[in-house]
């Protein structure tokens, strides 16, 4: 996902190694901050709204609106997952009656509709583009393909827990977008108990790791996040901790000061949400180590598992 866009605007499966990971993370992440994230995710109580605001990162890549994406890299087994129909929610599952909206960042068809996705929309604090094409690995595996595959995996896991899951777009419908304001509106209209937007970053090589983006307090125009800042923070902390545990992907080494958490007030998908919502940047597609994970179907299943466990933890306690 690009920080200049609206809402950012053959790899091998690898299992996490928990023992050595602890040592490696100690060199990357301040121990107290990492321990706090993991503690919160596995059962600690979320803080009551004292979010620390981080400045948006500088633009890390040029816009790709004017050109079609490169030939796609091997997607692992995303084609098989994408073709699988969604299962009905388990009526006896612990999340029975809960609604989760999953927002796959960008859309594979966006590059065919530059005029539509460049259209300005109001996000409360200012106007910005409807959407962007997103980023891709150096081998051409696009962020839009990654997020849609991850969304399918996540939907399956959550439905097994009894949740009703709605995607903001799916398998080419609509053929572009939706715009960032509409993505927020879908969650609001569904009265979602939790919403999450899935992304992968397009930062410089050497920048590694994931980060979860939390909504800051905004009250301007149509945007009023004051009622969701607290619960969204709780959701984000739980997603971050479970994602770290399941994937072994470290917290970002270039944003969030090692916590894996970043607060922003310039994203339409968060500003316009009236339900608890976070974004997750699952890794950096422009870094070779992260790209090897993001293009692995087996690893994407681990990523979906971690995100699912974070959402389940939040919904069980909310």
Closest CA to 268 of 1, 9, 4: 9
Distance CA 78, CA 295 (A): 9
Query: Catalytic residue among 40, 129, 281, 309, which?
Result: 281
Q: Yes or no: say if 174 and 158 are a contact pair by the CB < 8 Å rule.
A: no
Q: Tell me the angle at which helices 229-247 and 31-41 cross, rounded to the nearest 10 degrees.
A: 100
40 belongs to the catalytic site: no
Q: Yes or no: say if 135 and 201 are a contact pair by the CB < 8 Å rule.
A: yes
What end-to-end distance do the CA atoms of the chain give, in Å? 30
Q: Which residues contact 167 (CB under 8 A, 6 or more apart)?
A: 101, 102, 103, 104, 151, 155
Q: Yes or no: say if 131 and 110 are a contact pair by the CB < 8 Å rule.
A: yes
- Give, in degrees to the nearest 5, the angle at Cα 258 between 280 and 138: 55
Q: Is 61 helix (H, G, I), strand (E, B) or coil?
A: coil
Closest CA to 104 of 200, 210, 213: 200
Please list the alpha-helical segments (H only) found in 58-113.
Answer: 78-83
Give the active site residues: 281
């Amino acid at each position: 996902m690009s920080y200049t866009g609206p809402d950012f605007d053959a790899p091998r499966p690898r299992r996490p190694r928990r023992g050595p990971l602890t040592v490696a993370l100690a060199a990357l992440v301040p121990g107290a901050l990492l321990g706090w994230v993991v503690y919160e995710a596995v059962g600690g109580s979320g803080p009551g709204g004292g979010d620390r605001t981080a400045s948006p990162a500088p633009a890390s890549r040029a816009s790709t609106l004017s050109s079609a994406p490169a030939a796609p890299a091997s997607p692992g087994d995303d084609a098989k997952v994408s073709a699988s129909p969604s299962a009905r929610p388990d009526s006896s599952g612990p999340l029975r009656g809960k609604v989760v909206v999953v927002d796959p960042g960008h859309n594979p068809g966006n590059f065919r509709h530059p005029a539509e996705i460049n259209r300005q929309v109001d996000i409360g604090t200012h106007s910005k583009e409807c959407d962007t094409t997103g980023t891709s690995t150096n081998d051409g595996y696009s962020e839009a393909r990654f997020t849609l595959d991850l969304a399918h995996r996540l939907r399956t896991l959550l439905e097994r827990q009894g949740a009703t899951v709605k995607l903001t777009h799916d398998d080419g419908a609509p053929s572009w977008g939706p715009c960032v304001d509409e993505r927020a509106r879908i969650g609001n209209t569904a009265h979602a108990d939790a919403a999450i937007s899935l992304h992968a970053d397009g930062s410089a090589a050497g920048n590694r790791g994931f980060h979860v983006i939390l909504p800051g307090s905004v009250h301007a125009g149509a945007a009023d996040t004051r009622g969701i800042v607290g619960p969204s923070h709780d959701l984000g902390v739980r997603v971050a901790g479970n994602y770290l545990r399941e994937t072994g992907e470290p917290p970002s080494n270039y944003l969030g000061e090692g916590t894996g958490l970043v607060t922003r007030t310039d994203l339409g998908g968060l500003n316009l949400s009236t339900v608890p919502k976070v974004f997750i940047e699952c890794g950096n597609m422009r870094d070779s180590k992260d790209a090897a994970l993001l293009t692995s179907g087996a690893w994407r299943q681990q990523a979906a598992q971690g995100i699912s466990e974070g959402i389940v933890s939040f919904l069980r306690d909310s």
